[in-house]
């Protein structure tokens, strides 16, 4: 049985030994924290991450954990998760929160259903967010990430002011749990995100920068945005995408990291330039084909390890 499993794993991740060597080789040139490369993992079937047990066999040093459903956040679950990551020598960098009844079917539907912007679900989702914060604290973490949704463009509107107040409430609750919040980019432009963070005016509000989302949603050139908001970037997703022909109306197309319009090398170089020290979390969404998702994510760990090794080593 063990032999069969080993064979399956080698077939699934044919470059495992190379990957491990590559990561360790790169590790010699920069500090351990700077070289941390990881993937988004899920403990249950919530979200599009890679199953935790698979992720822990990919040769990565870090994972960002998708928050499981509430019934999978018990003390027993926390212990199981911590035991697994400890045994694998992997650290959890943060928890990624999501909310019930969100839909990513189209950009317009995202606008209506995602995050804390839709008024009809806001109160209920703030309660869900509090639950995720408590879970993150139990795991001994310091960061929760999530999509806020489409921040209103009119900064004088009542909706914008309500969302700023909502974000302040979330920040203050998180601070009480010893947590910071990293907002994931994509559904707003760089300048709009900068304005929003300034308006919220809380010291535990930062950014999880996802360059592919800016392309997918048609919200501007990601590298320029990264330079603009750089001082707030505390975590990143190494994810790639190609622009849609009608930017901002149609979805762009998500592709394996390094194969889209992000410019992977320039992205890593810019992260170094703004002083980012890692970790580098790979995101690949492909729920239709878990095998392809895992293969793409695994290959991205090799690419990111190579790029980080080369770029962070150079003066
Ligand atoms: Mg992302």
- 190-231 pLDDT tens trace: 999 999 999 999 999 999 999 999 999 999 999 999 999 999
| pTM of the shown model | 0.89
Bond before 279 cis per omega within 30 degrees? yes
Structural domain count of the chain? 1
Confidence of residue 18 (pLDDT cuts 50, 70, 90): very low
Q: Quick one: pLDDT at residue 13?
A: 53
In the chain, % of residues over pLDDT 70: 89
pLDDT of residue 47: 84
**Given this model, what pLDDT does residue 5 score?**
42
Distance 282 CA to ligand 1 centre (A): 9
Mean pLDDT for 233-247 is 96
Question: How many whole angstroms from 237 Cα to the centroid of ligand 1?
Answer: 5
Distance 211 CA to ligand 1 centre (A): 8
User: What's the CA-to-centroid distance between 46 and ligand 1, angstroms?
Assistant: 15
Cα 279 to middle of ligand 1, angstroms? 14
Question: What Å distances lie between residue 86 and 42, 61, 72, 91, 95, CA to CA?
Answer: 16, 11, 19, 7, 16
* Cβ atoms of residues 70 and 43 within 8 Å: no
Range of the domain at 111: 2-313
Cα–ligand 1 centroid distance for 256 (angstroms): 13
Domain CATH number, residue 117: 3.20.20.150
Distance 184 CA to ligand 1 centre (A): 7
Task: Indicate the DSSP class of residue 246.
Answer: S
- Measured in angstroms, how far is the CA atom of residue 96 from the centroid of ligand 1? 9
Residue 25 has pLDDT above 80, yes or no: no
Measuring CA to CA, which residue among 65, 82, 86 is closest to residue 144? 65
More confidently predicted of 31 and 291: 291
Above 70 in pLDDT, residue 144? yes
Tell me: the pLDDT tens digits for 29-87? Answer: 334 444 799 999 999 998 889 999 999 999 999 999 999 999 999 999 999 999 999 99
């Amino acid at each position: 049985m063990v032999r069969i499993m080993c064979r399956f794993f080698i077939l699934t991740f044919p470059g495992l030994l190379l990957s491990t060597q590559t990561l360790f080789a790169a590790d010699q040139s920069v500090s351990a924290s700077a070289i941390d490369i990881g993937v988004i993992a899920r403990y249950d079937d919530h979200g599009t991450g890679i199953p935790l047990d698979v992720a822990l066999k990919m040769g990565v040093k870090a994972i960002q954990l998708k928050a499981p459903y509430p019934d999978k956040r018990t003390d027993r679950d926390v212990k199981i998760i911590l035991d697994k990551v400890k045994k694998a020598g992997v650290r959890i960098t943060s928890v990624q929160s999501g909310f019930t009844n969100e839909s990513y079917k189209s950009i317009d539907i995202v606008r209506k259903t995602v995050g804390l912007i839709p008024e009809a679900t806001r109160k209920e989702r703030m309660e869900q967010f509090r639950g995720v914060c408590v879970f993150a604290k139990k795991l001994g973490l310091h960061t929760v990430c999530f999509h806020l949704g489409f921040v209103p463009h009119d900064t004088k509107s009542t909706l914008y002011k309500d969302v700023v107040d909502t974000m302040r409430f979330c920040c203050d609750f998180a601070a009480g749990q010893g947590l910071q919040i990293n907002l994931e980019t994509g559904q707003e432009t760089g300048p709009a995100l900068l304005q929003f963070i300034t308006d919220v005016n809380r010291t535990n509000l930062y950014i999880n920068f996802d360059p592919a989302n800016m392309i997918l949603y048609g919200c501007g050139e990601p590298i320029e945005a990264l330079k603009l908001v750089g001082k707030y970037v505390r975590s990143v997703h190494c994810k790639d995408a190609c622009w849609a022909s009608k930017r901002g109306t149609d979805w762009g197309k998500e592709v394996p990291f390094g194969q889209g319009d992000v410019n992977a090398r320039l992205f890593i170089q810019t992260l170094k330039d703004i002083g980012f020290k890692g970790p580098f979390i790979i995101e690949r969404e492909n729920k239709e084909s878990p095998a392809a998702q895992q293969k793409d994510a695994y290959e991205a760990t090799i690419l990111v390890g190579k790029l980080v090794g080369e770029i962070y080593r150079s003066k």
